[in-house]
Chain A
Amino acid sequence: MSFVEGLRCRECARAYPAEALHVCDFCFGPLEAVYDYERIAASVTRESIAAGPHTIWRYAALLPADGRAPVDLGAGFTPLVRADRLAAELGLGELWIKNDTVNPTGSFKDRVVSVALTKAQELGFKVAACASTGNLANAVGAHAAHAGMKSFVFIPHDLEAGKVVMTAIYGGNVIAVNGNYDDVNRLCAELASEQPTWAFVNVNVRPYYAEGSKTLAFEVAEQLGWQTPDHVIVPIASGSQLTKVHKGFQELHKVGLLDDEPHVRISGAQAIGCSPVATAFKEGTDVVRPVKPDTIAKSLAIGNPADGPYAVEAARQTGGVIEAVSDGEVVEGIKLLARTEGIFAETAGGVTIATLVRLANAGIVHRDERVVAMITGHGLKTIEAVAPTSKPTATIAPTLDAFAEVLFQIEGN
């Protein structure tokens, strides 16, 4: 059952019913789910969670949907991998990778979509829709197919080939828009008014959708034996994931699942070609000025990030920072993670690792901290970024002599 009491405006605190609403009628602020934490505390224990499914739905009590009949392809409960070899390269101590590349459609978006479409079905919607930079498109296409819902997925026209194919394959409607993500998002924000019978996962059901990202924090804490890390590095597109990871750790303490109040530094990662949140952080303001994105990290290329001000606030409050890295660093970050830990991340993961490298070099991530880096999407989705520099070591004739020659070149002697 759901413990949601309703929705509340994060800006002016006006209350709304738990329906398909995302914006305060009065001040346009974002609406957020409000829970009865006392009842949740009385109903969940570490043991009851451990006995639950190996998906995000083990935390159903802390999610804004009933959860008895979830739209579930198995999102979540992904591995938390100890990354000693990467830590050694960066001069860090205890480092973990939250490997969200292994979700059903290869990114953390399966978490948020599973929650969004579960709630959408509870509200009676038959059509799923979204504005997407690609990963969300994949997740909506797949989950809508699994739930037997019609889907309309809106994407920028210039997405990576893998992300387009991996959306279209599920048989829904894929609409490529001549514009960037912000154009697509604006179109969908307007369309949501014209198509009120469609559940736009990141527009009219956004308050439910966004809550799915809390499960990243829940899992990290549970996988660390119900302890929290000291520092988490999270990629920033809209800023929603970062703010919800912060909220997730706080909630675990509120409902009695953590012994101590968490003090987790939350740091954010952006690409320089689209870094409005990092810029606001560095300038000491919470006014996030929109930009026109130009980066290979297309899944993070939101020039007008809805939760940007809240991401800045979370980083500041927790003693984290928000850093931006170049596209060259992104490619190096992808390769570094793959080479040291055997995990192939998409460009957003490259942004996260490159940011971790910068913060480690600057002494902002400390050697004595327990650090978790959120790797939120699979490298096969953005193969274009590394294809030019990831090729066979050699191409040879099928003869022993040919291989001997190559081996000599590789290893000498």
Chain B
Amino acid sequence: MPVTVRIPTQLRTLTGGSGEVSVVGSTVGEVLKGLDAAHPGFGERLFADDGSLRRFVNVFVADEDVRFLQGLETPVPDSQTVSIVPAVAGG
């Protein structure tokens, strides 16, 4: 089932300017891989060489930081929203 992924300004060049795209996947890792397949370029922007998320990339499922959940293994229920948010803000 598709889930909605919210895209920050910095990555909208990869989605033709769109701030939300629909992707299929049942975990955060699958969703982000699906995003890269549909819109090539996301992979290298989001992931470090060792396959982990870059340290200044935050990913939220239903408004919760996936680092408080199960990271890339976090399940994404149907019709849920995944947000990619730059970590550098605030304070």
Contacts and interface: CB of A to CB of B under 8 A. Distances in A.
Contact of A302 (B8, B68, B90): B90
A239 B87 CA distance: 13
Contacts of B26: none
Nearest to B67: A290
B89 A131 contact: yes
A202 B89 contact: yes
A23 B90 contact: no
A237 B91 contact: yes
A127 interface: no
B65 A304 contact: yes
Contacts of A192: 9, 89
**What is the predominant secondary structure among interface residues of chain A facing chain B?**
loop
Contacts of A28: 10, 45, 54, 56-57, 86-88
A351 B87 CA distance: 25
A212 to B, nearest CB: 12
Contact of B85 (A27, A190, A200): A190
Interface residues of A, number: 41
A193 B8 CA distance: 6
A27 B90 contact: no
A287 B55 contact: yes
Interface string B8-45: 11111100000100000000000000000000000001
B63 interface: yes
B74 interface: no
A319 B15 CA distance: 46
A131 B9 CA distance: 18
A275 interface: no
B89 A309 contact: no
A23 B68 contact: no
A22 B10 CA distance: 10
A240 interface: yes
Interface of B: 6, 8-13, 19, 45, 54-58, 60, 63, 65, 67-68, 83, 85-91
